[in-house]
Structure 1
């Protein structure tokens, strides 16, 4: 039986390669698409943009309002520093943990894992990542949900972390943590679907095509499909997390924990409240996912090609 060839690595460790690819992918995606994320967060947090007739502004009108009233491009990129920190740390850590956990599950380096194993590995990686990065997401949510001119608004990532620790302590850093754990199912479903589609595609090649030469369009199509699948299944948790994280202080008069938040949203907004910002989210996640996975797979391919 021929000996198995070790996988090539650029940094000397496959998990580190994956972490670096994920970090780069998160950085590119965040810089390009932050304005959509900002508008999505404001819709999720029930931010009231009203026109002269007292009706809610549409997505395009909201973009125009931010551009006109909050300093143009600066307003659209409010909260980009915690978003950048959160996204790069999350993607880098996620792929690092995901690669390590999958390697632990394999009995030999070339073993193909099943859907359940991909789901479990993704869930474990997501949970570990969520614990480490939640403070960044709390600051990001609060900055995106407020205008720079608002009283008490955070000025930057450092200002937000410092004030949150001083005013709320460790509890503030982990607001929205329970919905974030529910959100692990989002990444788990997405990566399970993505890995299964990729495995089917690789198996269909039957040695006719090198996996390193898979078309970028193939990666993008699989990434977009898996993202839509996961988003539709799990979107309400994002609304819950945003509502909880946007509340500053120890006592919340409107939202009281996860159960209280669910009751409040349902009572005041019915089922539609759990899907606030869904439209802009789909518009945002599709290019975001395509960019993220395109850059990630591209970087991974470069590491495999030029690694030792």
Structure 2
């Protein structure tokens, strides 16, 4: 008996997932890039001065300073090209790998995966995605931590990639790779929590007779998607945030030679700045990830539903 072909909008359900992820990453990154600029500048600031600022006050002051000194687009949107390239590629590749890996896993009698399987699928998909997109994040970090007036600063995505490859080779393209791989735990925690919340909600709707038997065709409300996305993202962000600081310090051009590696970077941050040093930029990070995650998941779920409704 031949295997039933899964309906798809693009010709492959995994490509459907990738396109939905690509679109979601594009929309959220375009709107929220300024918060990334501020977050990264806080992350690479090794002085104790920023520890004494109120978190929100420091974020607002940073906005004003950048607008006054660098302008809106050339300041707040510096590094937007590598950020969009990295985010869209990351979300697209992640959802593609995540969908493909889940399909290969053995399901239970009801055709469902366990929380641990969701966690493993997310870790594997995240690791593969991190390896493929790391050069974009190096360029983004270096552009966000410099201004257009900085001597010898990258002028754009392609200028940064070509110079990075020429001047530092493979080692340069993959700076910060170790904490980036550790960062896959962020996505794993987030997606495990998100999938489990969706499963719990679908089961509740089924018990009340308000959802189709096939959980993958269930359509939750936008407010439910937003609440689940935000909740899962906050948990993942607070739990794993230090890896972002480590990655930014190792990728930044000004601080790249100050640390011999991840362990050395951790030791020096703790000694010079205390444990709070690992959470620099958390305030703009939270402010950025909440609307960012809500936009991303809202666009992703609605695109996915559109693809399902128009699949052939």
TM range (shorter): over 0.9
Following TM superposition, the consecutive aligned residue runs of length 4 or more in structure 1 with deviations greater than 6 angstroms are 54-57
Asked if residue 244 in structure 1 is aligned to residue 250 in structure 2, the reply is yes
Q: 1:228: which partner in 2? A: 234
Asked if 1 retains the 8 angstrom alpha-carbon contact of 2:22 and 2:91, the reply is yes
> Do structure 1's residue 295 and structure 2's residue 294 form an aligned pair?
no
TM-score (norm 2): 0.91
- Shift, 1:61, TM fit: 1.1
Task: State how 1:267-278 maps to structure 2 within 5 Å.
Answer: 267-278=271-282
Partner of 2:16: 17
Partner residue, 1:187: 187
2:310 equivalent in structure 1: 306
Task: Please tell me whether the aligned partners of residues 119 and 189 of structure 1 are also in contact (alpha carbons under 8 angstroms).
Answer: yes
Task: Pick closer, same or farther for the CA change 1:63–1:148 going to 2, 3 Å.
Answer: same
Out of 220, 245, 259, the position equivalent to 1:214 is 220
**Structure-2 residue corresponding to 1:134:** 134
Aligned mates of 1:229, 1:203 — CA distance in 2 = 23
Q: 2:50 aligned with 1:60, yes or no?
A: no
Q: Does the 8 Å contact 1:118/1:192 carry over to 2?
A: yes
Partner of 2:289: 285
For structure 2, list consecutive stretches of 5 or more residues without a partner in the other structure.
none
User: Unpaired segments of 5 or more residues in structure 1?
Assistant: none
Contact 1:79–1:143, Cα closer than 8 Å, also in 2:
yes
The question of whether the paired residues in 2 share the 8 Å contact of 1:220 and 1:290 is answered with: yes
| Residue 164 (1) aligns with residue 164 (2) | yes
Q: Deviations over 1:254-299 (max 9, x none)?
A: 2111011001101110000000001111110000000000000010
Alpha-carbon distance in structure 1 between the residues aligned to 2:134 and 2:18: 18
Aligned with 1:73: secondary structure?
helix
CA distance in 1 between partners of 2:184 and 2:309 (Å): 32
Q: Quote the residue 1:33 is aligned against.
A: 32
Normalising by the residue count of structure 1, what TM-score does the alignment of the two structures yield? 0.92
